[in-house]
Amino acid sequence: MKALPLVFPFLLAALPIAAHAEARQLGPHVHGQASVNIAVEASTMDVQVSLPGHDAVGFEHPPGTPAEQAAVDKATASLNAAAWLVPAPAADCTLALARVSPHGFGGATEAGGHADFDASYHFTCRRMDRLDQLDVRLASAFPSVAKVVVSLITAAGSSQQVLEGGVSHVGVPQ
Ligand SMILES: [Zn+2]
């Protein structure tokens, strides 16, 4: 049994239709800054990321050359693999679903001329009680990222942590 019924409402928030309503925005579009929302509940962890195109591929317009298309494809694949996010190994988490949505690279540019990569992930963790930390390595995967704003919601409440200067460690309140 896959956890699809649980995932579905979460995915709705990431659909392009929602994007046009600006509902997908996790945080302000600031070059050099990525936003990560993490929600932990029972045995599941849902993660949403928004990354400016500027930091993912170095431009924010529809790819005009094979090299630019390759850059978009590479960033999409990199986000899809979710290697930038490493939950505490003891929590025994498995990536059940990943969805990456580039916005503003497909023809019509977005209002303001900006473009983003949005991604959402669904993890299942066998030992969620051991999820005491996460490693968020977005700045390693995308070196143009200087600041990562991580918002965390767990049974213990909500918190926000700002990662800068090579810091990737995020503590998870139990
Ligand atoms: Zn921009």
What's the pLDDT tens digit per position in 157-166? 999 999 999 8
Kindly give the distance from the C-alpha atom of residue 113 to the centroid of ligand 1, in angstroms, as a whole number.
7
Kindly give the distance from the C-alpha atom of residue 13 to the centroid of ligand 1, in angstroms, as a whole number.
21
- The one-letter amino acid code at 18 reads A
Residues 145-158 have a mean pLDDT of: 95
Task: Give the environment of ion ligand 1: residues with CB less than 5 A.
Answer: 52, 54, 60, 114
What's the pLDDT tens digit per position in 19-63? 333 445 577 899 999 999 999 999 999 999 999 999 999 999 999
The reported pLDDT for the residue numbered 39 is 97
Kindly give the distance from the C-alpha atom of residue 56 to the centroid of ligand 1, in angstroms, as a whole number.
11
What's the pLDDT tens digit per position in 127-139? 999 999 999 999 9
Query: pTM value?
Result: 0.83
Kindly give the distance from the C-alpha atom of residue 127 to the centroid of ligand 1, in angstroms, as a whole number.
38
Kindly give the distance from the C-alpha atom of residue 42 to the centroid of ligand 1, in angstroms, as a whole number.
36
Helix (H) / strand (E) containing 53: helix 53-56
Kindly give the distance from the C-alpha atom of residue 108 to the centroid of ligand 1, in angstroms, as a whole number.
15
**Percent of the chain predicted with pLDDT > 90:** 75
The reported pLDDT for the residue numbered 145 is 97
Spatial strand order of the sheet with 85-87 comes to 85-87, 133-136, 169-171
pLDDT at 154 over 90: yes
Residues 150-156 have a mean pLDDT of: 95
What's the pLDDT tens digit per position in 96-110? 999 999 998 886 655
Q: What is the CA radius of gyration of the chain?
A: 16
pLDDT at 69 over 50: yes
pLDDT at 169 over 80: yes
The reported pLDDT for the residue numbered 61 is 92
Phi, psi of 165 (to 5 degrees): 60, 35
Kindly give the distance from the C-alpha atom of residue 156 to the centroid of ligand 1, in angstroms, as a whole number.
34
